[in-house]
Amino acid sequence: MTKEIIKKVMITEKGTRMAVNNQYFLEVAKDATKPQIAEAAEKKFGVHVLAVRTANMKGGLKYIRGTRLAKTEPTWKRAIVTVKAGERIEQV
């Protein structure tokens, strides 16, 4: 059984602005390394990855309609992948 490295392509306002510069946001597995992310993106989307930047996004409390604590959000990892000019990552 192989673990899925790339969970989803993130569509955000910032990500849309960065797509002009061939950079895309991906939600990835928490223990994935940069070389693993690059290899997985090349296989899944058929692009040439030039650079990978990662950030661990801290989870925490989510407040809903004035309640003190509705639920806790999990910690997750985001990768910003730069691809070769002229190539695109489409949401799959």
Residue 63, pLDDT score = 75
**Burial grade of 6 (CB within 10 A; 0-12, 13-18, 19 or more):** buried
The pLDDT tens digits of the residues spanning 27-54 come to 999 999 999 999 999 999 999 999 999 9
Residue 28, pLDDT score = 97
Provide the pLDDT confidence category of residue 64 given band limits of 50, 70 and 90.
confident
Residue 79, pLDDT score = 97
> The pTM is what?
0.84
Phi and psi for 18 in degrees, rounded to 5? -75, -20
